[in-house]
Structure 1
Amino acid sequence: MKIKYFFSALIIAALAGCSDPDNNGFTQEQMLVGTWKLDAWYSDTPQDIDNDGNASTDLLSQWNGCYKYSTVQFSADMSSSITYIGPESNPKCPPGLLPNDNYNGLPWYIDNSYAEYPNGEIIFTGSDYLESYEIVRLTDTDLIIKGAGLLVNAEPDNSYYTDGYLRFTREGLPR
């Protein structure tokens, strides 16, 4: 359950992408399929998420949560999974989490029905909720989503309300 909330928050507010003219005829769903790694989390407004007294728009540099070191796999069957790629014995992770451990994420789909989101939005569905994230950009190599959610981790002190933009880069070759 914690992983599912993390995934939907990490994939905060808008995953999936623009219909870029260079998409070579692929749909957004087809472009999203693959493995993505978070490489930036930023905000227009400086925030102090680690409570060190220094606010910054670079939220990823302040975040020391377990799943900072993870990849997200979007599958063609609209399922997802998360793979932890961080160090062994990370005190910010649930006990027993090892590198390359893999967890099921949330089902997803892309919705292009709202004019205020010209690139669409990615929707994650859980058993009792639905989360959506605006797609800012989706190319063969880059995914930027925008939104807000709750990043839940094993310990309440390691959970964050998230806001801003998440940028992912594709791992490996596209499609």
Structure 2
Amino acid sequence: MPRLLTYRALNFILVLIAVIAMAFAIFFLQNYKGFEPCPLCIFQRIGLMVMGGFSLIAAIGNPKSKAIQLLLWLGSMAGIGWSTAVAARHVWIQHLPPDQVPSCGPGLDYWLDALPMRQVINQVLAGSGECAEISWRFLGLSIPEQALILFSALVLVNLLVLWRILKNKTA
């Protein structure tokens, strides 16, 4: 069991979970079920991919320098922290009373073409009517609620990585 909690193994676990989650989102939810991701879902995916990318670099490179390990951890934590915050916002929007749900606006493609990036981010995080829609539930949880649970667990795994870095056991 101790080998499962090494710096390298923990980062491989993060990569594996990111790949499985992205495959689930793309192949099952998007392609099989036919759900188009809303802008908040896309932003959550971006953060998950950032975490997976930094974790992959850490797992493959297995740096011995504590400074590089911390830098890679910071990138990974920033990615999953972003996803967790966006998922929490998404859950909050889904639980708004119907009269307080933001109206549907143009799609993300239009915003990216027509607005500066800062304004696109503000527009997406404000949410829209499509983000409040609950299309599918599993075990009584909406997709953003499931994502929030997963991302929170990944934050905990990232904290384990930090603990491993600070303990300086990099095998």
Structure holding more helix per residue: 2
Higher strand share: 1
Q: Mark yes or no: TM-score above 0.5.
A: no
TM-score by length of 1: 0.23
Q: Give the TM-score, by structure 2 length.
A: 0.23
